[in-house]
Structure 1
Amino acid sequence: MACLPNTVSVQQMKYFIVAGIVEKQELKLILMKLINLAQIKYSLAKLKEAFGIESIARLVRISATILLSRIISIAKNIRQPIISQEKVFQGAWYSV
């Protein structure tokens, strides 16, 4: 199987077929792999983008200020858990 670069134009593909460097079946397989790679990169970009407030607002399709106000209102309603004497609240998973 021939090794082609990651970016190949249509003219280059036709040249590879005509010159006998690559058969059509090989070219189809290479194109499928490139398309799959592009889809994975796009999915990773969406995943990576989803961590900021503005990015989340864009994905949910609401404004960043509305999202931030909802986060603040939810945070205000969180109550500190009741802790028995001589114990200190360290976080959600454990207390000493």
Structure 2
Amino acid sequence: DPTSFDYAVTRRHLEILRTATDAKGRHLNVITLEGPSTIRQSYANSDFAAGYINFYLCNDAVIAPEFGDKRTDRNTRDILQEQFTGREIIQLN
């Protein structure tokens, strides 16, 4: 969302990651996750940056946030499942 307070810095970080390489000079495979269009009212304030990148990998699961936006919550779950095959995707609100 270009009107978001963190839009510019997020775009800059994405560009840095897209041009970064690992120790062997290979480019990183950057997967983007669209942020939710709507969030639960309990989260609503001007400086809350809703996003899915704070997921947590543990043993056989991936723990990720859920914001109540059915489309982006589902899309995120699908992308994480594709990237972390064999792990259960658990979204918490």
The structure with the greater share of residues assigned to helix is: 1
Q: What band does the TM-score fall into relative to the shorter chain?
A: under 0.3
The structure with the greater share of residues assigned to strand is: 2
When the two structures are superposed, what TM-score results if normalisation uses the length of structure 1?
Answer: 0.27
Task: From the CA coordinates, give the structure whose radius of gyration is larger.
Answer: 1
Q: RCO (CA 8 Å, sep 6+): is it higher in 1 or 2?
A: 2
